[in-house]
Amino acid sequence: MWRLLLLLVPTAGMADSLVAARVIKAQTALVAEDVTLVAAEIPGALTDPAQAIGQEARVAIYPGRPVLAGTLGPAAVVDRNQIVTLTYQAGGLAIRTEGRALARGGVGDVIEVMNLASRTKITGRVGADGGIAVGPQPTP
């Protein structure tokens, strides 16, 4: 008597990957029409459109190319050369002055700025209001 042995081998399911549906220019916030899901597992590509929508492209992304997490970032609220409010806060002390942003940045990004009064370059964290917090930064 012959016996037939059936082996069930698990196979990896195809994961969906996010690709650009059209040319996405650098420094452009992504909208739903900019991306589409394809039935392919592309290493490093995002798998959920919600992860990309509202984010800003750091580089140009061409149609059919994967949307990678490293090519996106928070939408910039501060542009290079923009005049911003610098705030130093420690305990009950708060000092505010004007500065010039030396780079673009989104909320939470650390960028270099120049204090207009002293012409000193310093770094600070971009706030939701477009102001820059300088000095000791609380750890999240």
* pLDDT score of 140 more than 50: no
> What pLDDT shows up at residue 32?
93
Q: Does the residue 114 lie in any domain?
A: yes
> What pLDDT shows up at residue 75?
87
- Looking at the structure, do residues 87 and 68 belong to the same domain, yes or no? no
* pLDDT score of 139 more than 70: no
Per-residue pLDDT tens for 63-99? 999 999 999 988 899 999 999 999 999 888 999 999 9
Q: From the CB of residue 101, how many other CB atoms can be counted at a distance below 10 Å?
A: 23
Q: Does the residue 53 lie in any domain?
A: yes
CATH number at residue 37: 3.90.1210.10
* pLDDT score of 4 more than 80: no
Residue 54 lies in domain? 17-73
Per-residue pLDDT tens for 18-45? 999 999 999 999 999 999 999 989 999 9
CATH number at residue 115: 2.30.30.760
Q: Are strands 76-78 and 105-106 parallel, antiparallel or unpaired?
A: antiparallel
Residue 33 phi/psi, 5° resolution?
Answer: -75, -10
> What pLDDT shows up at residue 73?
87
Residue 97 phi/psi, 5° resolution?
Answer: -155, 175
- Looking at the structure, do residues 83 and 62 belong to the same domain, yes or no? no
